[in-house]
């Protein structure tokens, strides 16, 4: 379960993908497979969620890692580099961005 807290010492990564409705499900399937087969098994992985907008033109991926270095190490593996090439072919663009929690509201 994701924990969103200002005091949590974790790395948050939000990745947004832009695609057409025709490739949304294909990209979602590829991302789901990547998480189940590879990403979730990497050192430092805590949790992730995939979100799709109503028009099926954007996917937002929220993931949490123990440390920034864990996320970067996962990205640099040959396995993930190959998967990212596949993701790139299914969307117009995607960009992972690292964030720190500034505030939370309940």
Q: What is the pLDDT of residues 10-25, one digit of tens each?
A: 999 999 999 999 999 9
Q: Is residue 5 part of a domain?
A: no
> What kind and span of H or E run contains 17?
strand 11-18
Q: In which domain, by residue range, is 88 found?
A: 11-99
Q: Is residue 51 part of a domain?
A: yes
Per-residue pLDDT at 7: 77
Q: Is residue 33 part of a domain?
A: yes
Q: Give the tens place of pLDDT for each residue, 44-87.
A: 999 999 999 999 999 999 999 999 999 999 999 999 999 999 99
Q: Is residue 104 part of a domain?
A: no
Q: Give the tens place of pLDDT for each residue, 25-42.
A: 999 999 999 999 999 999
Per-residue pLDDT at 87: 97
Q: Is residue 106 part of a domain?
A: no
Distance from the Cα of residue 61 to its chain's centroid? 4
Q: Bridge partners of 99?
A: 12
Please, are residues 68 and 98 in contact by the beta-carbon 8 Å criterion?
A: yes
CATH number at residue 29: 3.30.70.100
Average pLDDT across the chain, whole number: 94
- Please state, in angstroms and as integers, the Cα–Cα distance from residue 3 to each residue in 40, 71, 82, 89, following that order: 16, 17, 29, 32
* Structural domain count of the chain: 1
């Amino acid at each position: 379960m994701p924990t969103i807290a200002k005091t949590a010492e974790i790395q948050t990564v939000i990745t947004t993908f832009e695609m057409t409705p025709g490739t949304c499900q294909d990209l979602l399937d590829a991302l789901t497979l990547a998480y189940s087969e590879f990403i979730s098994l990497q050192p430092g992985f805590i949790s992730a969620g995939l979100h799709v907008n109503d028009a099926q033109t954007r996917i937002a991926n929220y993931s949490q890692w123990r440390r920034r270095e864990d996320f970067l190490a996962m990205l640099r593996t040959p396995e993930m580099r190959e998967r990212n090439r596949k993701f790139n072919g299914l969307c117009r663009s995607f960009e992972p961005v690292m964030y720190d929690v500034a505030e939370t509201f309940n």
